[in-house]
Amino acid sequence: DTAVSQTPKYLVTQMGNDKSIKCEQNLGHDTMYWYKQDSKKFLKIMFSYNNKELIINETVPNRFSPKSPDKAHLNLHINSLELGDSAVYFCASSQRGTEHYGYTFGSGTRLTVV
Amino acid sequence: EDQVTQSPEALRLQEGESSSLNCSYTVSGLRGLFWYRQDPGKGPEFLFTLYSAGEEKEKERLKATLTKKESFLHITAPKPEDSATYLCAVQETGGSYIPTFGRGTSLIVHP
């Protein structure tokens, strides 16, 4: 059973297109995150949702719009894709109050903008 | 300036050759320090959480230690399957509870 699953695993698209990445967790966690990992492996927080409510929104261009239909799902929609958006995007989840157990990450979505 | 600095960036070891990875941090108050392992094409996998200076945690060939300014991940008699990128993350008191990640150490263990 996959704990945090992301789709698609690979995404190649042209500049200017709009794309979505989906994430689902079956751990019963109440908090979900989107991270961006660049080519140098630097993992940076983008968004955090707790029980479907946005609680963290780092300085991310407003072309990126997260949506959480329920606490098990957190999707990421990206408008007008740019070359600099190429990266690996990770979804993660945790249960508030038990962060000492760390976050559970998905396997990532490698986005390539050409 | 990065709040979390990991060194070295890359490390090559022979199987059985013990070594340590370093994670230094510059936060005003530490709530928790996390170690993760990341295999190629996968997401980070949680290893340990440390909270206070002097604390140690162990798992198989890995031991994590913590001082007031840095953490070490000691790898004893490593095997090729220990090859991965090891990420450190620091959670600061008083602010967002979201940990800040370092850039990782890429470890390769040769048979």
What pLDDT sits at residue B60?
94
What pLDDT sits at residue A101?
81
- Which residues, in sequence order, are bridge partners of residue A88? A37, A110
Q: Is the dihedral of CA B25, A50, A64, A86 positive or negative?
A: positive
Residue A1 has pLDDT above 80, yes or no: no
What pLDDT sits at residue A40?
81
What's at A112, amino acid-wise? T
* Residue contact A56–B46, C-beta within 8 A: no
What pLDDT sits at residue A55?
82
Looking at the complex, does the CB of residue B85 fall below 8 Å from at least one CB of chain A? Answer: yes
d(CA B20, CA B30): 22
How far B37 CA sits from the closest chain A CA (Å)? 11
What chain B residue is nearest to A101 in terms of C-alpha separation?
B49
Query: What would the pLDDT profile of A52-110 be if each residue is shown by its tens digit?
Result: 888 877 778 999 999 999 989 999 999 999 999 999 999 999 998 777 788 999 999 99
Looking from the CA of A72 toward its CB, the CA atoms found within 13 Å total: 8
What pLDDT sits at residue A36?
96
Mean pLDDT of A10-24: 97
What pLDDT sits at residue A105?
97
What pLDDT sits at residue A107?
96
End-to-end CA distance of chain B: 37
Contacting residues of A for B45, CB less than 8 Å apart? 105
Who among A40, A48, A102 is closest to B49 (CB)?
A102
Instruction: Name the more confident of B43 and A51.
Output: B43
Looking at the complex, does the CB of residue B78 fall below 8 Å from at least one CB of chain A? Answer: no
What pLDDT sits at residue A96?
83
What pLDDT sits at residue B24?
97
Residue A25 has pLDDT above 80, yes or no: yes
Q: DSSP letter at B95?
A: S
Nearest to A86 by CA among A5, A25, A14: A14
Contacting residues of B for A107, CB less than 8 Å apart? 41-43
Mean pLDDT for each 10-residue chunk of chain B (111 residues)?
Answer: 89 97 92 95 95 95 96 98 97 83 96 95
